[in-house]
Chains A and B, each alone.
Chain A
Amino acid sequence: MEAEIVYIVLAAIFGLFMAWGIGANDVANAMATSVGSKALTIKQAILVAAIFEFLGAVLAGGEVTDTVRKGIVDTDLLAGSPKLLVYGMLAALLAAGTWLFIASKNGWPVSTTHSIVGAIVGFAAVGIGVDAVQWAKVGTIVMSWVVSPLIAGFIAYLIYQTVQRLILRQDDPLAKAKRYVPVYIFLAAFTITLVTILKGLSHVGLTISIRESYLLATVIAISIALLGAVAIRRIEPDKKAEKHQHFYTVERVFGILMIVTACGMAFAHGSNDVANAIGPLAAVVSVAQNGVITAKAGLPIWVLMLGGAGIVVGLATYGRHVIATVGKKITQLTPSRGFAAELAAATTIVIASGTGIPISTTHTLVGAVLGVGLARGIEAIDLRVVARILVSWVVTIPAGAFLAIVFFFIFKTVLP
């Protein structure tokens, strides 16, 4: 019995470490766009992030958590020696956490998702055997890493084109913004709620028919859009500021929209990235509690809580500074541009989460930003940095894998 407690405590510590890292670094990318464009203050951003990351993790994070904990490793092969899975998952958590820590200290653009998937594949392939890896699933995941930034970029391109045509290029952009922005709010709210209801709610034990799902999503989205419309109506043109910047008031209208997409982005991030920390933790907990690997084991609620709490602590301790720094650097992402990127990224991520595919939120957002850039929406994008991001992912997977293998063999020798 004692050994089981050691496993759970270790996994909880490592999971917390990783969740802390996600909260400290990763969330900043999701939230900084809103802070940078002054749609939210830092405090509001942290509040939004804390609430919606948590909701995202609980309501829509189940599928991805399942993939991380039992979709990559063929657990049938380990039925006889469940301890190997425990060692492996502990190693993967520690490896990914360590690698992320090293990388963020050095400013390398690595992804949490790539690290954890690399680590799990690494320990499984080398520590247990090449057959222990569900290669078909891994192939799908890796494909999605290529596809998700492309899709997000494409959506962002289309969204920004419509914004330019319908609003920014018109004679009276403010009137047009007031008319069309509520529609964008509706679209943003509708997509995210619909995917959540269709894919997420079954995980918390609710079943709703498809017709009811569409109806419910529509009702929720209309309510949010109406709220937004009221807030937009209150915005008065600031003639003085507009003398210097004709789009000053227009951007403030988009600022309202950006609050909605920021919530969506935090939700999407929670639904996808929290799983990176709690997936392996959940695997360890389920083996330790049951003594065997059960494919059906549910997700204990305290595991989710721990993941959510770790992220909130990471945000509060370190993330707020990162959000402030990044926010200051991305002034080019004005609300009209930023919402297009956020909405495209959030939609892509939530859909991926619904299908249980762990993708990189940051890379998806970068793809979306490039999409806005392709629509001639961004003043200057440094392609050298984009290239560095591409390279970083080729490095991250073997690095995560290597560390996981080392930790795996250490745990195998040291732990009971």
Chain B
Amino acid sequence: MANVLANIFGSSPVRPLEKHIGVAFQCAKQLHAFFAAAIKGNWEKASAVRGEIERLEHEADDLKKQIRLSLPKSLFMPVPREDLLELLLVQDKIANRTRDVSGIVMGRKMPIPAVIADQFLEFVDRNVDAAKQARKSVRELDELFTAGFRGAEVNLVEALIEELDRIETDTDDKQAALRGAVFEIEDTLNPVDAVFLYQVIELTGEIADMAERVGRRLELLLSH
């Protein structure tokens, strides 16, 4: 009887979602150290960072499963359950892409040409920035719920998402420039390496794409 009041509250997905994006960002953040080691050819260090990436990716996966399980259809929420699950899914993809990229580089002990090294790291960092901005935006979820998805808080989140979009556009520009730079030196590369280098650039760029989609999902929540 005493538990009536306690039990009518389903477990809130808000804090877990905020925690999940935190882990996904931490995962993406490792890419800097990973590529820095790879560029130097320090595969021992790269392998250690890769281990950390895998651990964080697993952690994000576990959180994702827990959140899904704690969101039964009988929940009555201010926003549709499906939208929250979609948000969770794109958040998780930030960690997935990080794992994929580091996996390819690690598996092939892929050499990254010194000529493009600085430009490459800058591009990686900008993608990590996008993930960070996504985290900052998602962390406003509890305030959004408190304010009922209206008013000053909405403007604040919209500003955060605009900034996220700017970062993503920036990664696109950097990606194009980086591909150009790789094209310039293509003849000097082993053809298979060149193909994979393009693929790694592509996949890394998807981290910012996923971060941007986190923003799109948040916007959808705002429109309710």
Q: Of the 9-residue stretches B30-38, B70-78, B121-129, which lies at the interface with chain A?
A: B70-78
Contacts of A1 in B (CB 8 A): none
Q: Tell me whether B2 and A381 are in contact (CB under 8 A).
A: no
Give chain B nearest CB distance to A44 CB in angstroms: 19
Contact B150 A169 (CB under 8 A): yes
Q: Are B9 and A245 in contact (CB under 8 A)?
A: no
Q: Which of A169-221 contact B (CB under 8 A)?
A: 169-171, 173
CB distance from B159 to the nearest CB of A (A): 13
Is there an interface contact between B5 and A366, defined as CB atoms closer than 8 Å? yes
Per-residue CB contact flags for chain A residues 375-405 toward chain B (1 = under 8 Å, else 0) read 1111111111110010000000000000000
Name the B residues within 8 Å of A332 (CB-CB): 9, 12
Select the residue from A32, A326, A333, A385 with max chain B CB neighbours within 10 A. A385
Set of chain A residues within 8 Å of B13, measured between Cβ atoms: 379-380
Within A323-381, the residues touching B (CB, 8 Å) are 325-326, 329-334, 336-337, 362, 365-366, 369-370, 373, 375-381
Partner of B75, one of A25, A29, A168, A381: A381
Q: Tell me which residues across on chain B come within 8 A of A294, comparing CB atoms.
A: none
Of the candidates B9, B139, B143, B150, the one whose C-beta lies within 8 Å of that of A330 is: B9
* B1 x A107 contact (CB < 8 A): yes
Chain B: CB-nearest residue to A101:
B1
What chain A residues lie within 8 Å of B8 (beta carbons)? 366, 369-370, 381-382, 385-386, 389
The range of chain A's interface size is 35 or more
Could you tell me if B5 and A29 are in contact, using CB atoms closer than 8 angstroms? yes
Q: Is the interface of A mostly helix, strand, loop or mixed?
A: helix
Are A164 and B148 in touch, CB under 8 angstroms?
yes
On chain B, the residues within 8 Å of A330 by CB distance are 5-6, 9
CA distance A382 to B9 in the complex (A): 6
With known contacts A169-B151, A247-B143, A376-B149, A381–B9 Cβ distance under 8 A: yes
**CB contact list, B96-149 vs A, under 8 A:** 139, 142-143, 145-149
A385 with B148, Cβ < 8 A, contacts A100-B1, A104-B2, A379-B77 known: no
Cα A53 to Cα B5 in complex, Å, equals 19
Contact indicator per residue, chain A 76-111, by CB within 8 Å of chain B (1) or not (0): 000000000000000000000000100110011111
The 0/1 profile, CB within 8 Å of A marked 1, for residues 1-30 of chain B is: 111111111111110000000000000000
User: Does A306 touch B at the CB level, under 8 Å?
Assistant: no
Contact (Cβ within 8 A) A109 B3:
yes
Q: Does B152 contact A (CB under 8 A)?
A: yes
B-chain residues with CB within 8 Å of residue A273 when the two chains form the complex: none
User: A168 and B11 in contact (CB under 8 A), knowing A362-B5, A379-B78?
Assistant: no
Cα-based distance from A207 to B10 in the complex (angstroms): 48
Q: Measured between alpha carbons, how far is A171 from B154 in the docked complex, in Å?
A: 11
A383 to B72 alpha-carbon distance, docked (Å): 10
Give Cα A332–Cα B5 distance, bound, in whole angstroms.
11
Closest Cβ–Cβ distance, residue A373 to chain B (whole Å): 6
Given A169-B148, A379-B12, A380-B75: A389 in contact with B6 (beta carbons within 8 A): no
Q: A242 → chain B, closest Cβ, in Å?
A: 10
Residue of B nearest to A377 (CB): B148
Specify which of B11, B14, B72, B146 is in contact with A384 (CB 8 Å cutoff).
Answer: B72
Q: A111-B1, A381-B10 are in contact. List 10 more A-B contacts (CB 8 A).
A: A25-B2, A109-B4, A164-B148, A168-B151, A326-B6, A330-B6, A330-B9, A369-B8, A383-B74, A385-B8
Residues of A bordering B, CB below 8 Å = 24-26, 28-29, 32-33, 100, 103-104, 107-111, 164, 168-171, 173, 244-247, 322, 325-326, 329-334, 336-337, 362, 365-366, 369-370, 373, 375-386, 389
Lowest 4 A-B CB distances belong to which pairs? A169-B151, A329-B6, A376-B78, A380-B10
